[in-house]
Structure 1
Amino acid sequence: MENYYRSSSWTDFSDKVSNDSSFIVPWTMPVEEIAEDTATTVYTSHSQAEKHRRDRIYAQLSALRELIPMSHKMDKAALMTSAVEQVKDLKRKAAEISKAFNIPTEMDEVDWDRPQDINPNGSRQGNDSKDKIFIRASKKKVEGVSPTTLKQSLDVVLSRIASSSDVSDCRI
């Protein structure tokens, strides 16, 4: 029996076992082939993901080409440079417009009470002041504030309030 262990090898044992029909080998292919299949699958998956990423980038570049004027012959770097310049120009124009018009932004807050609760002298009253807006102004002159810009600002605020679904308790 001692000789059997020394002289036998795995191949001798597997040859003897494979002839026996009651014993089934747990794997049908060598381990090297399994490792190669796994590597091939990983490579294929990675290359498909990379192709999908490139397709998305090209789709976004073509959409950007449609937005930037005269960009059909630009390379990618020039297109990106042109897009950055376009965004900077739009930001500058928006800043100029916001300086010209004093329109409340999303960051500005306007608190309002129901008009029937306030009368012109600031005290609260019944329904006699319905559909009126009362504004208190100081006598100090503030640059850039005129009745026209105030009216424009109020129109914007009122349009936001009108579009709100719950007008009774509105905060803009």
Structure 2
Amino acid sequence: MGKDQTFDVAGELGALKRYAWSLTRDEHEAEDLVHDTLVRAYEGRASFKADGDLKTWLFSVLHNTFISKIRSRRAYDARIGHVAELADTQVEPEQEARLRLAQIRTAFTALPADQREVLHLVAIEGMAYQEAAATLSIPLGTLMSRLGRARAALRALESADAKVVPLRLVGGSDDER
């Protein structure tokens, strides 16, 4: 750039804003586009040729910035669309599972300590019967007996749940179903 030629970007702001608005057709997007253009122009000012037309160069930077934003937005939308396709659109309700887990926890904690210990070692920790018996220092037959009683108690809970009376409608009678 020669000494007599200045890099007068401020003198071109009006034209840049008008062109940006014609591309975006939105005042706020146009302002953002002009801002991004000015940042890019400042960062790339070394590429401006001293004998070049500043307005043409700025319009070119603005146009390229606009095209880059469109491409970036399309790529983003495509990624979001792809993620949306992968995402589950339906999630099973957790309430029933949580309620069931709470019921099992309550039943497990209600077991006598000796049955709870045996059931925990075998069912939760995955120990073999012999290993669990050795851990508790009890004969294998005692372990099997306690385990059988614990399982029977939990099965009794299961069969009691099967006999649960269905909920009644609020504000009406069961006959209206």
TM-score w.r.t. length of structure 1: 0.36
Higher helix share: 2
